[in-house]
Amino acid sequence: MDFLKDLNIQEKNFGASTGLEWNSTTDQGELEITSPVDGKKIAGVYLASETDYEKIIAKSQAAFEQWRMVPPPKRGEIVRQIGLKFRAYKDALGRLVSYEMGKSLQEGKGEVQEMVDICDFAVGQSRQLYGSTMASERELHRMYDQYHPLGTVGTISAFNFPVAVWSWNAMIATVCGDTNLWKPSSKAPLCAIAVQHILSDVIRANNLPEGLFNLIVGRGSSVGERMLNDKRVPLISITGSTEVGRHGAQVIAKRFGKSILELGGNNAVILTPHANLNMALPAIVFGAVGTAGQRCTTTRRLIIHESIYDKVKETIITAYKGLKIGDPLDEANHVGPLIDTDAVRQFTSALEKIRAEGGKVVYGGSVLEGEAYPSDCYVVPAVAEVENHFNIVQEETFAPILYLIRYTGEVDNAIKLNNGVVQGLSSAIFTENICEAETFLSAQGSDCGLANVNIGTSGAEIGGAFGGEKETGGGRESGSDAWKAYMRRQTNTINYGKTLPLAQGIKFDI
């Protein structure tokens, strides 16, 4: 495949890089990366060792000492060049994302576009690392706060967004003066290796310090745990399941490190009697089946007023019958495969639990076979009638299952259902009633980090801070003022007078 060659993906690839060099460790085992699209081996990746990790950290620490003193707008110029490179490789990298992970080609290219967009955002941010001046109670004093770089920022990314989530963290961290250490998912490491090759061109062209951008593909039990416990990595951003995030947060907190957690979602769309159903339908279907239901922002629960329930159910099933399932590199298809057969087992197991708890699968749920489906990872997205309190509904199943939930009475009842799960990432309401919309967005409304009106739960823009509450972790990445997490805050007070007045009027004469 030409895009593999264009991205410098070899038959066998090393798993550790400092941006200019690749460590040559081969004794830790080899990951064989198989595409869920056709079941064929794409390439191999030699796992990195703990010795590789130590070499990388040393390079990263040395690079930080230089990079932190580079003026932020000049850091932004480097990110601008990186964005241009991502633009040039959008088609090739988008195809690799689609082929290695299984999402549609449109989504694969869209993910690379997110990388371009966050680069553009970060370039502007490089001139806006603002502090504030505060009024001092003491005469001839000035008080203000400012922000300094943290050090090496770690990113542990998940398979479902194998490049975009890294860029949200890395590009902002870079303009903030930090160096970067990336541990990608072992299910989709080739995308990360391709990005590292792209970055190396910019590093060489600008004579940047080795260790500014670092990559390590290794076992979680060794390299991953070392990273979590490493005081030289003051901040780690973790994207993954709630269980992964809970463990990571506890380990990092024990050493008083900082973490950004982007964990599970159990996202709901509310349809009130005042909803524009023509507008809501495509948002719901894309939100539910995009990336084959493997987004943290996937629409998992559809909370429907009883007066329109039957109509919506019929419309959803009709739309699902029209979905084209198959090779995601074929842009005529809507839905590609799940990431692997473990994900398929989780999908079928969840459907069994729905039935066991008294729910009803009203459409889909089968595993597809035949020549049109060359791997064992293709399924028919499912629609199920359930109740919000079911144990399986309270969990996040990372698969294309849409739960239909009926509500009665006022919108407050729907909001209670929306909030009635332990996750709190994304949420949406479709209504043309301003009172319902404002209630949903108020302090008594959605308890999620993302709350939308008349758009779906999926497809957040990079300009807003991304993240959720409760067991989603509480972290924020990407836009708005999320950049502050990648810096240390310092309050400064300057006395430019000739005396030493104390705060709070305290007298201390000697």
Q: Give the active site residues.
A: 262, 296
Name every residue whose Cβ is closer than 8 Å to that of residue 26 and which is 6 or more positions away in sequence.
Answer: 46
Cβ-count burial 102-123 (b if 16+ within 10 Å, e if not): bbbbebbbbbbbbbbbbbbbbb
Q: Name the amino acid, one letter, at 209.
A: P
- 469 secondary structure, DSSP code: E
Round to whole Å and give the CA distance between 293 and 102: 11
Token readout for 44 is 């191999």
Report the first-to-last Cα separation within the chain, whole angstroms.
Answer: 80
95-to-162, 271, 328, 331 alpha-carbon distances in Å: 12, 35, 9, 11
Which of these, 5, 2, 26, 6, lies nearest to 15 by C-alpha position? 26
Instruction: Give residue 455's identity as a one-letter amino acid code.
Output: I
Residue type, 483: W
> What tokens does 430 get?
């479709």
Region of 304 please: left (phi>0), alpha (psi -120 to 50) or beta: beta
Q: Are 214 and 17 in contact (CB under 8 A)?
A: yes
Can you state the angle between helices 105-125 and 164-175, rounded to 10 degrees?
A: 10
What is the C-alpha separation between 128 and 125, in angstroms, rounded? 5
Residue type, 301: R
Q: Tell me how far CA of residue 384 lies from CA of 137, 308, 408, in angstroms.
A: 62, 17, 19
CA distances from 208 to 63, 179, 180 (A): 9, 11, 13
Cα–Cα distance measured from residue 48 to residue 502, given in angstroms and rounded to the nearest whole number? 55
Q: Do residues 28 and 46 touch, judged by C-beta distance below 8 A?
A: yes
Helix axis angle for 277-289 and 309-321, nearest 10°, is: 50
